[in-house]
Structure formats: structure tokens, C-alpha cells
């Protein structure tokens, strides 16, 4: 309940500012299959541009309380940041140690019908690195262990810009359907990570296609 209240407080108080920061435009791979309204438990897997990506998803899926996996470094910023993250229901991922308690917490939330927000790249890309970075396997393990669908998501990362923030929501994916019984588990996980990353990349291309088509019609 606390996390839901904190989410709504941020959405209400931040509604006007986000209009100027993002000027959000939401696109869809297939709106009839998946729109901004998520029913039941699901995992949103997004590419990662900036720390503020979290706010974009917050206002995209405004009817649901998103529980975001957040790196340990965010908990070291200052007490205000730490307090806000905890209030919003952030799930701490300590990348410095082999602590996988975040998977158990996330699984419990999904089984109760909650929504997990995850950035499979696990960090921001460096200046000369190809985006998106290779995906880490946590998102696949979560989906396989809970049976929850993954909703692929792409943002163009245009924040505080003259250009609008554009995002695109993909169709839900049940990664169990990608599992090849002829392969060992590690190979399957690696393949599914690559396939999900390729899906998100294709969403980015579809976003650009829709953007171009939109301008052509004007």
C-alpha cells in the first residue's frame, strides 16, 4: 500500500513537470495486443539511456505500481534519494556481491500479480559502447521461474530536449516458448537474452518507422 501511495504521489505532483521534460508520445507494436494498461503480473524490459528512464515508464504505465530493480549505487547518493527509492518500492540489486535475493523478491511480487520493471543492460553504456548493451540473464530467469510475460519496451531517450520523448510498447513475450529442449540451459538462457535484446532493437526501428510515417502524413 505504501509503495502504491508513493507512486501516485509522484505521478500527481510530477504530472505537470513531466509534460515539459518529456512531452511523451507513446507508440505501440500492436495496440490491440498490448497498450498502456497491464493486466496481472508482468515484467517490463526496457533499454537504458539515463537514470530518469524510470520516470518515463512511471508515466507511461500510470495505472500500475511499477517495482523497479535498481543498482546499489543509487542507494548511496544521499538519504533523500534512498528514501524516495524505498518509498516507491525499488528493489535493490547489489552488483558488487553475488547476492540474488532480488530475484526472490521480484518473483514474489510477480506471483502476486505485480509488475516488475527491469533494465537488462544492468548499467548505462559508455560513450563509445554500442547501445543497447548485451542483456543480463536475470530477466529471463524471472520470466522462466514465474511464467510471467515480458513486455519489451523501447525509449528514444530524448529528455529535456526540443525533440519529444517517444517510447514504444511491444507485444508480451512468454520466453518459455523460445526454449529449445535440444540445448543445455546455459545456451538457452544466452540465446533468449540475445533474442530479447534483438526484439528491443527492432522495437526501436519500428518506432523510427512510425515517427517517419507520422511526419509524412502532416
* Residue 74: per-residue pLDDT: 78
* Residue 43: per-residue pLDDT: 98
Task: Give every CB contact of residue 79 below 8 A, 6+ residues apart in sequence.
Answer: none
* Residue 76: per-residue pLDDT: 75
Give the pairing of strands 115-118 and 91-93.
Answer: unpaired
Q: What does the block give as the cell for 196?
A: 530479447
Distance of alpha carbon 3 from alpha carbon 120, whole angstroms: 23
What does the pLDDT look like over 77-130, one tens digit per residue? Answer: 777 778 888 888 899 998 877 778 999 999 999 999 999 999 999 999 998 899
Confidence of residue 185 (pLDDT cuts 50, 70, 90): very high
Could you tell me what percentage of the chain is helix, strand and coil, using 3-state DSSP and rounding each to the nearest 5?
45, 15, 40
Confidence of residue 194 (pLDDT cuts 50, 70, 90): very high
CB atoms under 10 Å from CB of 23, counted, come to 15
What does the pLDDT look like over 5-50, one tens digit per residue? Answer: 989 999 999 999 999 999 999 999 999 999 999 999 999 999 999 9
Using omega within 30 degrees of 0 as the cis cutoff, is the peptide bond preceding 132 cis?
yes
Is 218's pLDDT higher than 80? no
* Residue 98: per-residue pLDDT: 76
Element (H, E) at 131: none
* Residue 50: per-residue pLDDT: 92
| pTM, rounded to two decimals | 0.94
* Residue 188: per-residue pLDDT: 97
When divided into structural domains, the chain yields a total of 1
Residue 127, domain CATH: 3.40.1130.10
Nearest to 139 by CA among 120, 126, 152: 120
Distance of alpha carbon 215 from alpha carbon 68, whole angstroms: 34
Name the residue range of residue 194's domain.
Answer: 2-217
Is 210's pLDDT higher than 90? yes
What does the pLDDT look like over 41-87, one tens digit per residue? Answer: 999 999 999 989 999 999 999 999 999 999 887 777 777 778 888 88
What's the residue count for the chain?
218
Amino acid at each position: 500500500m505504501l509503495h502504491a501511495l508513493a507512486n501516485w504521489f509522484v505521478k500527481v505532483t510530477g504530472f505537470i513537470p513531466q509534460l515539459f521534460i518529456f512531452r511523451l508520445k507513446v507508440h505501440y507494436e500492436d495496440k490491440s495486443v498490448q497498450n498502456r494498461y497491464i493486466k496481472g503480473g508482468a515484467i517490463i524490459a526496457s533499454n537504458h539511456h539515463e537514470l530518469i528512464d524510470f520516470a518515463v515508464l512511471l508515466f507511461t504505465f500510470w495505472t500500475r505500481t511499477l517495482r523497479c530493480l535498481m543498482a546499489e549505487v543509487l542507494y548511496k547518493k544521499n538519504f533523500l534519494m534512498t528514501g524516495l527509492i524505498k518509498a516507491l518500492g525499488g528493489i535493490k540489486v547489489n552488483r558488487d556481491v553475488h547476492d540474488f535475493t532480488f530475484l526472490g523478491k521480484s518473483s514474489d511480487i510477480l506471483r502476486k500479480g505485480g509488475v516488475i520493471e527491469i533494465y537488462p543492460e544492468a548499467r548505462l553504456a559508455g560513450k563509445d559502447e554500442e547501445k543497447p548493451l548485451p542483456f543480463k540473464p536475470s530477466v529471463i530467469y524471472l520470466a522462466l521461474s514465474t511464467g510471467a510475460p515480458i513486455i519489451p519496451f523501447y525509449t528514444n531517450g530524448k529528455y529535456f530536449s526540443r525533440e519529444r520523448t517517444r517510447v514504444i510498447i511491444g507485444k508480451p513475450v512468454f520466453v518459455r516458448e523460445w526454449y529449445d529442449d535440444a540445448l543445455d540451459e546455459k545456451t538457452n538462457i544466452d540465446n533468449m537474452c540475445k533474442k530479447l535484446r534483438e526484439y528491443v532493437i527492432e522495437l526501436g526501428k519500428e518506432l523510427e518507422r512510425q515517427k517517419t510515417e507520422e511526419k509524412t502524413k502532416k
